[in-house]
């Protein structure tokens, strides 16, 4: 029976050589994965912030430059004798308001009319990136090194009467932009690092939990146990089926597959299939509905009668599945009959010993009464009778086990007051193969026992059993008649069914079914006829060449 799971003690013989434990591996792997993901995310956001901020600064500079270039007074100042005196005071407040690093305005020769450093007014602009604005009239953003250093700047042409008369350059220093980007990135990493730390702690907790769920086992140990379990399951002669709490099949071993399908099939054909689809629902329904353990429930699977056992699996007080085991009842009956045969031999020897003891006491009594002549005649008569039976069996039966069984049954019948006779023309000279001998011994023992049970109810003068056997033709034939009540006509077709019996008591109804099965395994037949003695007459036949057909050794 499966009990509730408990923590398993470590097996030193099972534990392989492990350098790093499973828990530490999980912590390292999950930690490395988390750090890698956080790093990639951080680098991506860092790059995204840098690109976005530069674009934002460039767009801002371009917007300011366009606004300045569209001031009417600015364009008109280019026609003045001293444009710088008008333009520089005009753009200085705009630069301060927009917090631009510089607003530089130059003419078509790139001579400055406005600059934050008034000493550079009248000098040529630096950067050599004004051509697109002055020549083609484009508005654009560029990054270049000017008189104030590397900067992101916007270039917009200035028009007067439809002609380009100058260029407006608005810029923000790259060092200032990088400072802003660095500030943002510092905040970003200040958030990501604690997140990574919490994630690593979570990895430690997850690894510890999984290790606990796995009962402290390492992956190598789990793999070893898995292969060990599979070997045990597949080598077990009992059929084993495991289902989950929904009744879906999770495992079937080869013995159960042979029992259900007569062959081993691929797991895809049964995994996830409801158990009731494979086994008769009317017999399986009590199994599925009852959460309690069931032991040795007799049921039919296909054409095989089995003893079924049910063991529920619990985890944390919850039902998580069930294991069914099936034992072939026929195999158990065969074992029972083998033990019964041994018991029959023992009883036969006991009966023979008891009868011999009675005869010795009879002889002793006759001698004590000084009736030596009667004692001598009694000894001669009994000796002659035993010799006749022994000589008959030796002459008629070549197999010593069959002759020994018959002699034992004759002695047992004699003790019970049952006259067992063997017809004079009986003969069994065929050498029996092992399978034939096994089937024949079991069949004869069962049939004679049934005959003795049938005639025990009769009066002492009507307890007779007649045995006839021959192998003159192509078959070995045994016929056993008795003076019992026989088998009623309505039960003739049921007499060989497993579990059917006319006798009282439990655990009956298997002898004739087992006998018929054993006889059929050697290509023989067993049937019931009307007996000459008024009771039942069972006739069995076995082909002499059963082994040559390959059935006897099957």
Taking the C-alpha atoms of residue 208 and residue 240, their distance in angstroms, rounded to an integer, is 34
**Residue 18 pLDDT greater than 90, yes or no:** no
What residues have CB less than 8 Å from 401, skipping those under 6 apart? 437, 441
Say if CB 301 and CB 259 are below 8 A apart: yes
Beta carbons of 297 and 282 less than 8 angstroms apart: no
Rounded to whole angstroms, the Cα distance separating 290 from 308 reads 14
E strand intervals along 400-523:
419-422, 464-470, 475-482
Work out the mean pLDDT of the chain and round it to a whole number: 77
Q: How far apart are CA 169 and CA 64, in angstroms?
A: 9
Residues 64 and 96: their CA atoms lie apart, in Å, by: 12
∠ CA 333-520-254, rounded to 5°:
60
Q: What's phi and psi for 523, nearest 5 deg? A: 65, 25
Is the pLDDT higher at 495 or at 554? 495
236-315 and 332-549: same fold? no
Closest by alpha carbon to 529, among 518, 519, 540, 521?
Answer: 540
For the cut 60, the answer to whether the pLDDT of residue 551 exceeds it is no
* Beta strands 318-328 and 304-315, pairing class: antiparallel
Output the CATH code of domain 332-549.
Answer: 3.30.565.10
- The upper half-sphere exposure of residue 105, i.e. CA atoms within 13 Å in the direction of its Cβ, equals 32
pLDDT score of 549: 40
Average pLDDT estimate for 527-543:
87
Confidence at residue 548, expressed as pLDDT on a 0 to 100 scale? 40
Q: What is the pLDDT of residue 308?
A: 76
The CA distance from 85 to 92, in Å, is 12
Residue with more model confidence, 235 or 73: 73
Read off the pLDDT of residues 372-399 as tens digits, 9 standing for 90 and up: 777 777 676 666 555 566 666 777 788 8
Domain ranges of the chain: 19-217, 236-315, 332-549
What CATH architecture does domain 236-315 belong to? 2-Layer Sandwich (3.30)
In this predicted model, what pLDDT tens digit does every residue of 160-177 receive, in sequence order? 888 888 899 888 876 666
Residues of the chain with pLDDT > 90, as a percent, come to 3
DSSP-derived secondary structure for 379-431: HHHHHHHHHHHHHHHHHHB--HHHHHHHHHHHHHHHHHT-EEEE-TT--B-SP
* Alpha-carbon torsion angle 195, 198, 202, 204, nearest 10: 120
- Give the N- to C-terminal CA distance of the chain in Å, as an integer: 34
3-state secondary structure of 470: strand
pLDDT tens digits, one per residue of 316-370: 777 778 888 877 766 666 666 667 666 666 665 666 666 667 767 777 777 777 7
Max distance between CA atoms of the chain, in angstroms, equals 180
CATH topology of domain 19-217: Beta-Lactamase (3.30.450)
Residue 421 has pLDDT above 60, yes or no: yes
Q: Is the pLDDT of residue 479 over 90?
A: yes
Structure tokens at 332: 């158990």
User: CA nearest 538: which of 455, 461, 446?
Assistant: 446
Residue 538 has pLDDT above 60, yes or no: yes
pLDDT of residue 349: 63
For residues 34 and 26, what is the distance between their CA atoms, to the nearest angstrom?
12
pTM over 0.85: no
Least Cα distance to 479 among 488, 492, 466 occurs for: 466
Alpha helices in 70-130, H assignment, sequence order: 72-77, 83-98
Q: Is the dihedral of CA 49, 54, 58, 61 positive or negative?
A: positive
How many degrees, rounded to 5, is the angle at CA 86 between CA 84 and CA 91? 90
Taking the C-alpha atoms of residue 167 and residue 111, their distance in angstroms, rounded to an integer, is 10
**Best-predicted range by mean pLDDT (101-115, 228-242, 347-361):** 101-115
């Amino acid at each position: 029976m499966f009990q509730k799971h408990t923590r398993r003690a470590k097996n030193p013989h099972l534990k392989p050589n492990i350098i790093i434990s499973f828990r530490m591996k999980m912590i390292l792997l999950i930690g490395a994965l988390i750090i890698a993901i956080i790093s990639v995310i951080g680098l991506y956001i860092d790059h995204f912030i840098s690109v976005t901020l530069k674009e934002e600064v460039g767009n801002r500079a371009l917007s300011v430059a366009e606004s300045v270039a569209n001031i009417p007074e600015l364009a008109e100042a280019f026609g003045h004798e001293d444009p710088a005196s008008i333009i520089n005071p005009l753009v200085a407040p705009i630069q301060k308001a927009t917090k631009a690093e510089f607003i530089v305005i130059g003419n078509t020769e790139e001579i400055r009319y406005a600059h934050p450093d008034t000493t550079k007014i009248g000098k040529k602009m630096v950067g050599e990136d004004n051509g697109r604005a002055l020549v083609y009239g484009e508005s654009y953003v560029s990054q270049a090194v000017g008189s104030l250093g590397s900067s992101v700047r916007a270039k917009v042409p200035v028009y007067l009467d439809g002609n380009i008369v100058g260029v407006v350059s608005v810029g923000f220093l790259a060092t200032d932009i990088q400072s802003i980007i660095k500030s943002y990135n510092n905040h970003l990493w200040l958030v990501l690092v604690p997140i990574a730390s919490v994630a690593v702690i979570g990895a430690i907790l997850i690894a510890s939990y999984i290790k606990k769920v796995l009962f402290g086992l390492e992956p190598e140990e789990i793999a070893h146990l898995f292969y060990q379990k599979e070997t045990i399951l597949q080598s077990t002669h009992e059929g084993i089926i495991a289902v989950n709490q929904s009744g879906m099949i999770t495992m079937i071993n080869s013995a159960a597959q042979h029992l259900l399908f007569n062959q081993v099939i691929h797991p895809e054909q049964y995994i996830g299939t409801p158990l009731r689809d494979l086994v008769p629902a009317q017999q399986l329904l009590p199994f599925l509905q009852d959460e309690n353990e069931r032991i040795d429930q007799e049921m039919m699977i296909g054409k095989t009668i089995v003893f079924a056992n049910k063991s529920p699996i619990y985890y944390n007080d919850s039902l998580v599945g069930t294991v069914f085991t099936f034992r072939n009842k026929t195999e158990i009956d065969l074992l029972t009959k083998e033990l019964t045969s041994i018991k029959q031999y023992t009883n036969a020897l006991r009966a023979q010993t008891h009868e011999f003891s009675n005869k010795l006491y009879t002889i002793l009594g006759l001698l004590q009464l000084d009736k030596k002549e009667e004692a001598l005649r009694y000894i001669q008569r009994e000796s002659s009778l035993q010799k006749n039976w022994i000589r008959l069996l030796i002459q008629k039966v070549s197999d010593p086990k069959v002759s020994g069984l018959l002699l034992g049954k004759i002695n047992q019948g004699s003790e019970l007051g049952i006259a067992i006779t063997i017809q004079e023309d009986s003969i069994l000279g065929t050498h029996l193969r092992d399978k034939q001998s096994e089937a024949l011994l079991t069949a004869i023992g069962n049939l004679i026992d049934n005959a003795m049970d049938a005639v025990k109810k009769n009066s002492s003068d009507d307890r007779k059993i007649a045995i006839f056997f021959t192998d003159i033709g192509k078959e070995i034939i045994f016929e056993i008649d008795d003076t019992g009540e026989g088998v009623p006509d309505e039960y003739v077709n049921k007499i060989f069914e497993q579990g059917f019996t006319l006798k009282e008591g439990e655990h009956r109804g298997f002898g004739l079914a087992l006998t018929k099965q054993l006889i059929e395994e050697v290509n023989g037949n067993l049937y019931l006829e009307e007996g000459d003695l008024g009771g039942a007459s069972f006739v069995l036949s076995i082909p002499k060449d059963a082994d040559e057909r390959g059935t006897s050794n099957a």
